[in-house]
Structure 1
Amino acid sequence: MLDKRPNPDALLKQITTEDSQKKIGKLKVFFGYAAGVGKTFAMLDAAHTAKKEGIDVVAGYIEPHTRPETLALLEGLEMLKPLNVVHKGITLKEFNLDDAIKRNPELILVDELAHTNAEDCRHRKRYQDIEELLKAGINVYTTVNVQHLESLNDIVASITGVIVRERIPDSVFDRADQVELVDIEPDDLIERLNKGKIYKEKQAKKALDHFFTRENLGALREIAMRRTADRLNKVVEKNKTCAHSGEYFIAEHILICLSSSPSNAKVIRTAARMADAFHGSFTALFVETPNRQELSRENKIRLQENLKLAEQLGARIATVYGDDVPYQIAEYAKVSGISKIIIGRSNNKKSWFNRKASFVERLTSLAPNIDIYIIPDSRAPYLVKQVKRLKVYRLSVVELVKSLSVLGVATCIGLWFAHIGFSEENIITIYILGALMTAMITRGRIYSILSSFASLLVFNFFFIEPKFTLYSYDAGYAVTFAVMFIAGFITSNLAIRVKEQARQSALKAYRTEILLETSQKLQRARNKEEIYSEVAHQINKLLSRMIILYPGNGDVLGPPTVFANPINNNEADYYTNTDERAVAQWVYKNNKHAGATTNTLPGAKCLYLAIRNQNMVFCVVGIVMEKDKTLGAFEKNLLIAMLGECALALEKDYITETKNQVEMEAQREQLRSNLLRAISHDLRTPLTSISGNAGILLSNSDVLDEMKKQQLYGDIYEDSMWLINLVENLLSITRIDNGTLNLKIHPELIDEVIQEALAHITRRSSEHCITVDVQGDLLMAKMDSRLVIQVIINIVNNAVKYTKVGSHIHIMAKPLGDKVLVEIGDDGEGISDKDKEKLFDMFFTVDKNSGDGRRGLGLGLSLCKSIVHAHGGTIYVKDNKPKGTLFGFTLQAEEVNVDE
């Protein structure tokens, strides 16, 4: 019969997953298509049903309603007191997250999932409060309408004409454990509105004229039903994928280009919906152009908002560099297997001065085999006007000297060409080359412009008749001058563009090299401390910002370590105060990002990121964020990759440490098993002998002569002493194994220690010739005398046990530099080289039969080795000359003051 036991690793993984799921609360969403459909009513009714079943239910926050049916359902439910927040002189009532976690009910009701909290609350959005409740193991009932889903915002706005400001990521809705669609006919909803059951009379009349029209409600109802069905399909597909891993694959890969355009958010939402519909992957590409730094603050903020929106909707962020955006998009799409590109319609029209191909036309020609979807923009096309702020250039003396030097060299070459009879056209090329060289060796476009203009003047001054004036007789030279200036200006611009592209490529290569270097350094790190240090230094190298690392220490974070070059203690204290540590602790506890540039505790001075795997957080990294400055898309991608590498290294270290602990525990278990097995086997002989001899003495004491009695008494004594020595060895081994062996080091005379040991050796030693030779009258060593005595006793007893009667045992002690050497030799049969290698291992015994038939546990010499090493000495065994075995060990010598 085949053994069909489950795989232990798979079983352990399943148990771990079940345990982690038990700790996370369940979320149920009551979903509607408009206000007044009865979401809160249905939620409260379900709460009463749960309470009747014995579940601990608390109403955390219920939106104030004037609807009597809803208010009636609040009776009988425990309600938390709201959190009063004063904002601009107005007291706002918010959900009290801390009280809810402290109360820790089984089920809590939190109305209005998409609500935006007041500024002083921990999170900006209520759905983040609910995520923290779920993390704490509390089940949550909540409500939300279809217009609050992020990906549907544009569709709802096009239907109703209303842009909803309070929105939630679709992932929050899709991750819900249950979604209950609360539905009502649009006519019934309008009737309820007319009866004043939803809004007051004046507000209801306004709503009927705008949002609550029959057409709008019908369309929203259809969207809500479809969205609920889409979520159900996702759950089914996910279950299929889990049940049949490897049988499903994703073929569609959708790409959008991130920009600061106001319409880019609509493109992102459309692409997210298409990715869901096609069950494909979703990538948001950011093309970083040389003029990115020239964007206005408004455009930079909008770009960051679009980036966050793409991340919320599940996009993978990618970054490339270049000034030709369509070309970069097409090349990335070709190498990344993109099947569809989603872009917004170009919101500009051609003019007589702008006849080049549009963005869409170029992208279509560059990527003819990729489906391109153009999302319309409701705004009227307009002529793009580039209005640039005047920049005040501060000319550098060094750059001016470089420019003038190039101009001087070009003039000298030009004069030489004129002297040998070259034409003016050849001299013009020298000045164009000079303008190009100026662009290559200087920084800033202003020097190229000045060089081109100065080249024109110098050429006119030195080479055009009349010479040494700025006039010219021939009117055609005006065209020559214009062509010369334009040629110089264009070539210098091209050189500047090449330099910028080279700089961007070098920067990207440098950042990528940092990532690769991080991976290599983390692989070489030997422990957690080195891993922490390496990743912090690499992040500091990548971002050039102060890095603060909080290592995990059980349920709390350890003290922070600041990494900066140089480190300013005052500044470090500023970024590691109590408030900042509290944010880091929250990240450690909740396994989520928080702090500056996020929606959770945004008032912090640092951005806090967790270095984590799926089940645990290893540490928290704080990155000091300057005001109004955020991480670039490429920098953030690299940072996430570095943190992932660090998490893998820490997980590997954790697994190794756990494995070592398991192996150590297994070794200890093996030790216990061997010990019990050895004791049960080797104690049988002396115990049987003792009990047998004692029984003879008790039952036959009258018939035994005195000599026989003495022999039996001697045997009992010998066996008892053997047991006493065994127990002493076991106790010493236990103390050493548990780390409880406390050495009491004192200077001791070697001769006295040896004599004390000989007084406690086995009685059979009288059958052997034992001699002692201590060189020096006052030879002293630092030792714990009781332990060293035990070492000598064990070695001498072994010599007595494994040598024949009448053999010689010699004990010698002598100084050896700053050590004292003690050697114990015998003239027995000796020990083989194979046995010498394992002689000091625990439970190893030489395969010889001793005189009394007792094999021994193999603990004595192992204990000797541990004791000698604890004293900082060494122990060895070798062959004695001419025959036998010689044991030796060293101790730290002690200087003797003869005067004292």
Structure 2
Amino acid sequence: MMNDDRDDRPSPEALLAEAQREGRGRLKIFLGAAPGVGKTYAMLEAAHERVREGVDVVAGVVETHGRKETEALLKGVDILAPQMVEYRGKSFREMDLDALIKRRPRIALVDELAHTNIPGSRHVKRWQDVEELLTTGIDVYSTLNIQHLESINDIVEQISGVKVRETLPDSVLSTADEIELIDLSPQDLIKRLEEGKVYVPEQARRAVHSFFSPGNLTALREMALRHAAERVDRQMVDYMRAHAIPGPWPARERVLVCIDEKVDADRLVRFAKRSAERRGAAWVAVTIETSHAHALTEAEKDRIDAAMRLAIQLGGESATLQGDEVVDTVLGYARERNCTQVVVGRARKARWFGRMGKSVTESLIEKAGEFTVVVVGGEDEDRPKSVMTRHKPQTGWRLWLGYLAALVATAAATGIGFLIDARLPIGNISVTYLLAVMIVAIKFGLRAGIMASIWSFLAFNFFFTEPRRTFAITDVQNILTVAYFLIAAFIVSNMAARLRTQIQATRESARRTTNLYEFGRKITAAATLDDVLWAVVHHVATTIHGRSLVLMPGERGLAIAAGYPPEDEIDDKSAGAADWAWTHGKLAGRGSTTLPTADWLFLPLKTGRGPVGVMGVQMTEDADMPSPAQLRLLETLADQAAVAVERTTLVADIETARVATERERLRAALLSSLSHDLRTPLVSIMGAATTLGTYDEKLEAEGRQDLIQTIQDEAERLNRFVQNLLDMTKLGSGALKPRVDWVDLNDVVSSAVKRTERLARRHGIRIEIAPDMPLLCLDAVLMEQVFFNLLDNACKYAPPGTPVKVWAIKTPKHVAIEVSDLGPGIPPEDREKVFDMFYRVNLGDSQTAGTGLGLAICRGIIEAHGGSIHAEPGLHGAGTCIIIHLPLPPDLADIKGYE
């Protein structure tokens, strides 16, 4: 027998991928190297095969471009009527996405996957429409040309000289369930073009001499074949993983691309995407915030932001790192993320940090060690040529104020120089000027510092070097002194300016950290959902210097739960973007790729339990979309806000569960009480009545009297139970109000004792009320019910022959009343619970019938009189003692007012 140690179980990654595909439609892409190879024709042929199999196929949008053979294939396929969209006074035909989703065919034909929708449509790109169709479970057939992939956009432009405007992320192609390559040789395609089967004759002639040249078509064909081959390779790997086929499984590679303010940063990002895709590796784009980050121009910052957004769009990660030592920071992060390859631009001198000599690229290669460093050349022509350290230029009044400060500082240093000229060497005077230069550079930046350096040099030369009052220098030693002074002044001004930018960077970092800390503190302190939402919108609006709101689901869909400044409603486009962000858990709205014409940008508030709402932000008028740093901060705030909202929801859920548990406990107790305390007296009454009706003439007088007494006793018991339920209902609804009057406590207690005469036949009830007991302001009927319930309990639980005692005295502050017995007593842990509804002490085998309402009614009545009641052990720890405290009677005028 052969031994096979292979584990046939699928890998966790394969199981996860299968779970993610559950309920989702399948995407099949007909991929071609160029227009005219027959992608749409092949898609329609495949559709007809499925129609013949009985599959429901609908053409959502098919572009025939007037080709007769293609139009002929549309016959026999249901065609969805297009949606007319108005734009700039003209009507355009677009796919009706809502109608297609409502129709819900098994397969939808959506031509030209990279198509850009007319402004005003739900999504910017058609591939996003397809993504929504797939989410609803509809299979999609679509077409795509290889030049529309975002990652090779620059390569296509370099080869063909034509910049393709309509592109889509490579992730759309990589996540397709099936790709069918439609291949045609360049010669055959050019022949089709010349025959007018691709474009009209005039367009065809121009196309042959530009885009459709044999060289261009060959290069595009090679790229299409290569992508198809890579796709097949990934499918093979996926199959091996899904079926647990053993093989060499190398550690996964990761590519890191370094982005700075270069205008060719997009080229680096696309190269990193292609490099990572060939290796099946993950990749991340990083930018380094040095001490000069705040000195970059707005155009340079925009280039960095655009490159980082492109990295996210192409399926990569992005990260912003802080540090002046760029090489060490990059390599440290690469080690932390287990990257294997680092992609950088071509060598530049002292561009990222202020060291002279080696460029960042050269230093990176020198220190790379185990990393593979790939240097990408071919920068754009409009790249800035200067390699000087650049600081944010100052303009306007601030710049002239810096120059004026440099002049004033030079004059002040000159005055101090005259004071010390007579006593100290000339070198000490130069230190005074250097101090002035440093102060000006720190306060007003590099330009003002350089100006102060020049003026200090001139003043020092004119006033303090021989011959004085002239710029001429005769002494060689003075020439060296002045030259060294000028060099030192420039160095000091540059260092002081760098210190200034570092301080600004540190303050900005501290501001972001403080922002997150303050936000966490606010939402942690908020107890209710309204407090949390108000803290969220107020803090977010303050952070972005704009507006913020939170929408949460209600009975009619998403509704505004909070806004700052207060917002009651949003327009239909913004509402649609909010619904899409809520449904799909992704960004939507202004500045995004989904419903970008909306006035708000919406971020989903997601937790482990699912979405809890969406957060909307509206930037200032000059900012269409948050920068990557702002967006990451907003996403962090959204995550914290979602957790805070979930926390309040969990608190509410816990309280609801507690109330439900308590309700269920009361329900079970009530049902148990009803089943016993109603059924027992009813059975006794029915039995006695049946006996009387059947054997009335045969019964003796004594037997007949016993049966009548049983009926009467059980009827009274049943009446007491019903009365207790009614009293408890009145107490719970607040309808039980004491009707107080002057009463004698002896009369109330005696009346209660008389009512319990039958119950107390086996007990002696002793009443001891102090002779100085005043008239009390009570509701006699309700207080009689209290004493009846207490005596009833005492007689039930006390052994036969033992006494039950009622004792009352007057104290300086109140009237104290005790009802005690010599029964089994109440355990300490139950002495407070016995006053809850339906609670009964477990006495084991000697359990006595009862509803558990008597003491609860007593507490309600006593508290309605302004008193208190509690249970304690009896004398020497024997039995139970119920102690009541009632307030002393007020004046008569107060009593009338109380009534």
TM range (shorter): 0.7 to 0.9
Superposed, 1:321-720 pairs within 5 Å as 321=322, 325-326=326-327, 328-334=329-335, 336-346=337-347, 356-377=357-378, 384-385=385-386, 392-394=395-397, 407=410, 410-411=413-414, 414-415=417-418, 417-420=420-423, 422-440=424-442, 442-467=443-468, 477=478, 480-516=481-517, 518-519=519-520, 522=523, 525-540=526-541, 542-553=543-554, 556-563=557-564, 580-613=574-607, 616-629=610-623, 630-651=625-646, 653-654=648-649, 657-658=652-653, 661=656, 665=660, 686=681, 689-720=684-715
Q: Quick one: distance in 2 between partners of 1:888 and 1:15? A: 69
Query: Of the candidates 795, 798, 807, which is equivalent to residue 793 of structure 2?
Result: 798
- Residue identity opposite 2:512 in structure 1: R
Deviations 1:53-96 (A, max 9, x none): 66655433222432233323433544443333344454322223
Secondary structure of 1:748 counterpart: coil
- Residue identity opposite 1:435 in structure 2: V
Q: Quick one: distance in 1 between partners of 2:857 and 2:710? A: 26
Q: Quick one: distance in 2 between partners of 1:516 and 1:244? A: 47
TM-score (norm 2): 0.80
Deviations 1:521-565 (A, max 9, x none): 5556545444434444553454444332333436623334234xx
298-307 or 387-396: which moved more?
Answer: 387-396
Superposed, 1:194-343 pairs within 5 Å as 194-212=194-212, 216-217=216-217, 219-231=219-231, 234=234, 251-289=252-290, 299-321=300-322, 325-326=326-327, 328-334=329-335, 336-343=337-344
Matched, 1:743 2:734: yes
Secondary structure of 2:199 counterpart: coil
Q: Kindly state the Cα deviation for residue 310 of structure 1 after the two structures are TM-superposed.
A: 0.1
Q: Kindly state the Cα deviation for residue 504 of structure 1 after the two structures are TM-superposed.
A: 0.7
104-113 or 168-177: which moved more?
Answer: 104-113
- Residue identity opposite 1:174 in structure 2: S
Secondary structure of 2:385 counterpart: coil
Identity of aligned residues (%): 32
Q: Kindly state the Cα deviation for residue 18 of structure 1 after the two structures are TM-superposed.
A: 10
CA contact 2:832–2:871 (8 Å) conserved in 1 = no
TM-score (norm 1): 0.80
Q: Quick one: distance in 2 between partners of 1:58 and 1:41? A: 15
Q: Quick one: distance in 2 between partners of 1:196 and 1:259? A: 48
Deviations 1:730-755 (A, max 9, x none): 7888x79xxx9533264522689979
Q: Quick one: distance in 2 between partners of 1:32 and 1:318? A: 35
CA contact 2:26–2:140 (8 Å) conserved in 1 = yes
- Residue identity opposite 1:607 in structure 2: L
- Residue identity opposite 1:112 in structure 2: E
Q: Which residue of 2 aligns with 1:175?
A: 175
Secondary structure of 2:841 counterpart: coil
144-153 or 294-303: which moved more?
Answer: 294-303
**Is the alpha carbon distance of 1:325 and 1:20 closer, same or farther for their aligned partners in structure 2, counting shifts above 3 Å?**
closer
CA contact 2:263–2:383 (8 Å) conserved in 1 = no
CA contact 1:322–1:501 (8 Å) conserved in 2 = no
CA contact 1:59–1:110 (8 Å) conserved in 2 = yes
Secondary structure of 1:604 counterpart: coil
Q: Quick one: distance in 2 between partners of 1:650 and 1:614? A: 12
Q: Quick one: distance in 2 between partners of 1:842 and 1:236? A: 69
Query: Of the candidates 803, 825, 830, which is equivalent to residue 831 of structure 1?
Result: 825
Q: Which residue of 1 aligns with 2:91?
A: 91
Query: Of the candidates 758, 776, 779, which is equivalent to residue 777 of structure 2?
Result: 779
411-420 or 292-301: which moved more?
Answer: 292-301
**Is the alpha carbon distance of 1:333 and 1:647 closer, same or farther for their aligned partners in structure 2, counting shifts above 3 Å?**
same
- Residue identity opposite 1:487 in structure 2: A
- Residue identity opposite 2:591 in structure 1: T
Deviations 1:811-856 (A, max 9, x none): 9799998xx98956244437244242442356543355999x7433
**Is the alpha carbon distance of 1:869 and 1:396 closer, same or farther for their aligned partners in structure 2, counting shifts above 3 Å?**
farther
338-347 or 235-244: which moved more?
Answer: 235-244
Q: Kindly state the Cα deviation for residue 386 of structure 1 after the two structures are TM-superposed.
A: 7.6
**Is the alpha carbon distance of 1:426 and 1:349 closer, same or farther for their aligned partners in structure 2, counting shifts above 3 Å?**
closer
CA contact 1:57–1:108 (8 Å) conserved in 2 = yes
Q: Which residue of 2 aligns with 1:886?
A: 882
- Residue identity opposite 2:284 in structure 1: T
Q: Quick one: distance in 1 between partners of 2:370 and 2:19? A: 49
Q: Kindly state the Cα deviation for residue 342 of structure 1 after the two structures are TM-superposed.
A: 1.0
**Is the alpha carbon distance of 1:773 and 1:179 closer, same or farther for their aligned partners in structure 2, counting shifts above 3 Å?**
farther
Secondary structure of 2:36 counterpart: coil
- Residue identity opposite 1:198 in structure 2: V
Q: Kindly state the Cα deviation for residue 256 of structure 1 after the two structures are TM-superposed.
A: 0.8
Deviations 1:147-201 (A, max 9, x none): 2222233444455444322111122233334444445566665554454333333
Q: Quick one: distance in 2 between partners of 1:425 and 1:766? A: 116
CA contact 1:511–1:542 (8 Å) conserved in 2 = no
Q: Quick one: distance in 2 between partners of 1:239 and 1:897? A: 91
Secondary structure of 1:829 counterpart: coil
Q: Which residue of 2 aligns with 1:7?
A: none
- Residue identity opposite 1:829 in structure 2: G
**Is the alpha carbon distance of 1:756 and 1:58 closer, same or farther for their aligned partners in structure 2, counting shifts above 3 Å?**
farther
Q: Quick one: distance in 1 between partners of 2:857 and 2:778? A: 23
Q: Quick one: distance in 1 between partners of 2:852 and 2:445? A: 83
399-408 or 692-701: which moved more?
Answer: 399-408
- Residue identity opposite 1:646 in structure 2: A
Secondary structure of 1:141 counterpart: strand
Q: Quick one: distance in 2 between partners of 1:554 and 1:95? A: 31
Q: Kindly state the Cα deviation for residue 885 of structure 1 after the two structures are TM-superposed.
A: 1.9
Q: Quick one: distance in 2 between partners of 1:240 and 1:535? A: 48
580-589 or 820-829: which moved more?
Answer: 820-829
- Residue identity opposite 2:427 in structure 1: E
**Is the alpha carbon distance of 1:159 and 1:418 closer, same or farther for their aligned partners in structure 2, counting shifts above 3 Å?**
closer
Q: Kindly state the Cα deviation for residue 111 of structure 1 after the two structures are TM-superposed.
A: 2.0
Q: Kindly state the Cα deviation for residue 117 of structure 1 after the two structures are TM-superposed.
A: 1.4
Secondary structure of 1:85 counterpart: strand
**Is the alpha carbon distance of 1:162 and 1:451 closer, same or farther for their aligned partners in structure 2, counting shifts above 3 Å?**
closer
Unpaired segments of 5 or more residues in structure 1?
1-13
Q: Quick one: distance in 1 between partners of 2:732 and 2:384? A: 87
Q: Kindly state the Cα deviation for residue 666 of structure 1 after the two structures are TM-superposed.
A: 5.6
**Is the alpha carbon distance of 1:589 and 1:390 closer, same or farther for their aligned partners in structure 2, counting shifts above 3 Å?**
closer
Q: Quick one: distance in 1 between partners of 2:787 and 2:455? A: 99
- Residue identity opposite 1:801 in structure 2: K
**Is the alpha carbon distance of 1:190 and 1:77 closer, same or farther for their aligned partners in structure 2, counting shifts above 3 Å?**
same
Q: Quick one: distance in 2 between partners of 1:249 and 1:790? A: 85
Q: Quick one: distance in 1 between partners of 2:514 and 2:250? A: 33
Q: Kindly state the Cα deviation for residue 627 of structure 1 after the two structures are TM-superposed.
A: 3.3
Q: Kindly state the Cα deviation for residue 593 of structure 1 after the two structures are TM-superposed.
A: 1.1
CA contact 1:117–1:125 (8 Å) conserved in 2 = yes
Q: Quick one: distance in 2 between partners of 1:481 and 1:560? A: 70
Deviations 1:685-743 (A, max 9, x none): 5565445434433443222123322322332343344455556667888x79xxx9533
- Residue identity opposite 2:642 in structure 1: A
CA contact 1:113–1:126 (8 Å) conserved in 2 = yes
Q: Quick one: distance in 2 between partners of 1:757 and 1:615? A: 62
Q: Which residue of 2 aligns with 1:123?
A: 123
Alpha carbon RMSD of aligned pairs, Å?
Answer: 5.0
CA contact 2:819–2:882 (8 Å) conserved in 1 = yes
Q: Quick one: distance in 2 between partners of 1:843 and 1:746? A: 22
Q: Kindly state the Cα deviation for residue 16 of structure 1 after the two structures are TM-superposed.
A: 14
Secondary structure of 1:603 counterpart: coil
Q: Quick one: distance in 2 between partners of 1:232 and 1:866? A: 79
